[in-house]
Amino acid sequence: MQDNTLNGIAILFLFLLLIPVIISFNPRLSLISSSAIYLLLSVFLLFSLLFGFTKLSLMLPFSVQLNELFGLSNVHNSDHVTYLTSIPYLNFSYLFDSLSLLFGFLIAFLGFIASLYSVNYLYEEHYKNKSLFVILFNGFIISMLFVVFSANGLSFLIFWEIMSILSFFLVLFEYDKEESKKAANLYIIMTHIGTFFIFLLFLYMFTKTGSFSFEAWKRLGISGGLGVAGMLTVFILTLLGFGMKAGIFPLHVWLPKAHPEAPSSVSALMSGIMIKTAIYMMIRFYFEFMQSYGWGFGFTILLIGALTLIYGVLNAGIQDNIKRLLAYSSMENIGIMLMALGLAMIFYSQNMYLLCAFALMALLFHIMNHALFKGLLFLGSGAVASQAHTKDMNKLGGLIKKMPKASFIFLIGVLSAATLPPFNGFVSEWMIYQSLLMASSVNVEIIRIFTPIFASVMALAGGLAALAFVKAYGISFLGRARSQGANNAKEPPFLMLASMSILAFLCFLLGIFSFIGLLPINKAVKEITNVSVYKNIAISYGSIVTLPKYSMGIISPIGLLLAGIIFIGAIYLFIKIFGNMKTKVFETFACGLENKNIYNINVSDAQLIGQDACEIKSNGSQYSSAGFSQPLRRIFSGLYNIKEHLTNEEYKRKYFFPVKNYIFKAGDLFEYFYNSFAEKFLEKISKLRARIQGGVVQTYIAYIVGTLIILLIWFSWFHHTL
């Protein structure tokens, strides 16, 4: 009866997920229903993860009939559901283990938040074809669910391709914008290059097992049938195929272009969970389908993670587009996740399963935390863009007065992303940092030498991330408005604020009571490593001790919160006793200028244009985004593709106090390399084509004769061998 229940529940939710698509003619009603369905699904998946399907009270009396109708059957155990088809090797098989349930929960929950947000957001942005958006949006979420629950290589590729195509159309949703077209085209090219490597990977696994079933691939890993050459092949193809989707260095160039152009609720899903589906499959391959490898594989992942981390955070700090900054920040966090994955692989290769389990727990916890705070930040940037009608931070400012609630909620996301206590980003990164320090116990000299270097890179990246988010918040929300749009901004509608508030609350909750998030994660970690690391982490009075045997320190999120409250309270009392508490209202200082209605957004800060700020009669005299990041650009100039120049506007006071226009554009260095390579490659192909197709009839006749001769020789040889 239990097997039938599982199958029946799967079919029931499949029908429920189709409801928002069916009623897409009413976008608002469709999004409200989808938010309710995704919330219900996320609760169900979380309950299933914590207690297992055997504890479910939901029993469907008609499940047997549904199974017979749809050809569903269970394979091996109650975690599998398989849809049998007449096509050879194509079985739509689904796996409901702890790891897939965890990722399914994150997809469903973030889908609930994004759907709730979109109820108001679609109308605030005045999108034309709202019904189409609803269909693409829900199809995108459903396809991600099928991706993480797939247990067959062919069915996985089908849903992976559907996910990629639907996300392509969502990036292209504002198709009348040239930037959206360019970003969508780059994204679809890069993602299909990645899919090509995934196809080669799956084909290779099929040649080894004669099956596309993940269960058969797992048995191959347990038996050690891959061999050294096979494991190297699988490792490289997995890294290239799924690394492209994750946006690892240097395969990341699509990511900072696609995320800013997609609608903000879609950006939250793409950054919050879609790129993590690649990490999900890396975990599957490196811990299930490859189970005996050397430490070099983990070290390679660790190195690539460090490069991804530092490149992403350095580029985040110089961006003017707030969503582009967040996209590079996502690349930085992918680097952090890869470092944790690499450490877990190193520990696994050395049979240090307790440390491996701890590193995996840190990885999965950071995946969860990043989904929350990056989802919040992308939704917050969408609220800003919908009200101020720009994503350019040089045209924002003063929003803390116009949008106080949204500003406060966005600040929580900024503090989480900057890994400051007592928010969730701090705890998971602290755990990963502890894993790095524990690597000194590995009996491999190279790892011991490089561990302090990687720890230093992570510490440096933390400081640079803080700088980037200080810039994002300070330039966008503080000071005076730099444009009419920013000056006219107002609070976003209720459902946009409500959805953002839920994420902000969870960022705070999981920072203080981290064990709430670690408990379901422990289920997945235990299933992979057979070690329940949760029991080995001493959790008392809100403290988290890494591992008693390898302890590198203790943190107490509750203690940090209390310390912060006491500190702020002490400052308040000091000011109350010794200071003047009368309320004083002042305008934001802008070098003494009184120019509330002037928004000259073309004028940058005085430092950049070589003028005294007080000579510029505009709100642009404030520190700009470009000015804030200028030291970073100068120090790391070799890592950027910067285009900047200063021009005089000849028609505006040419000789006395000329008006200057500073133009700054930050491009990706590797995008420039790829474009240069593509141009040279196409040029060579064009020249070769011109030589082959010269327009001479005699040449074409020679081609035909030569082809016939080759075919005759081949046929004669083939006939002789028979």
pLDDT of residue 605: 41
Higher pLDDT, 552 or 57: 552
- Alpha carbon distance 132, 117 (integer Å): 17
pLDDT band for 602, please (50, 70, 90 cuts).
very low
Q: What are 99-137's pLDDT values in tens digits?
A: 999 999 999 999 999 999 999 998 888 788 888 999 999
Domain boundaries, the chain: 307-581, 606-667, 671-721
Largest CA distance in the chain: 106
Global pTM reads 0.86
Residue 13: what pLDDT? Answer: 67
**Average pLDDT of the segment spanning 471-493:** 88
pLDDT in tens, 641-697: 777 666 666 555 555 556 666 666 767 777 777 767 766 776 777 777 767 776 677
Q: pLDDT tens, 395-453?
A: 888 899 999 999 999 999 999 999 888 888 898 998 899 889 888 888 888 988 888 89
Q: 544 and 551 in contact (C-beta within 8 Å)?
A: no
Tokens 């994204």 — which residue? 187
pLDDT of residue 5: 52
* Host H or E run for residue 540: strand 538-540
More confident residue, 606 or 467: 467
Tell me the pLDDT band of 516, cut-offs 50, 70 and 90.
confident
Tens-place pLDDT, residues 622-636:
777 777 777 777 777
pLDDT tens-digit series, residues 211-269? 888 888 988 888 877 888 889 999 999 999 999 999 998 888 899 889 888 999 999 99
Q: Give DSSP secondary structure letters for 260-326.
A: HHS-HHHHHHIIIIITHHHHHHHHHIIIII--S--HHHHHHHHHHHHHHHHHHHHHHTT-SBHHHHH
Band of residue 613 on the pLDDT scale cut at 50, 70, 90? very low
Percent share of the chain, pLDDT over 70: 79
* Averaged pLDDT of the chain: 81
Q: Cα(520)–Cα(219) distance, rounded to whole angstroms?
A: 26
Q: Are 542 and 513 in contact (CB under 8 A)?
A: yes
Q: Which residue has the tokens 């109350």?
A: 576
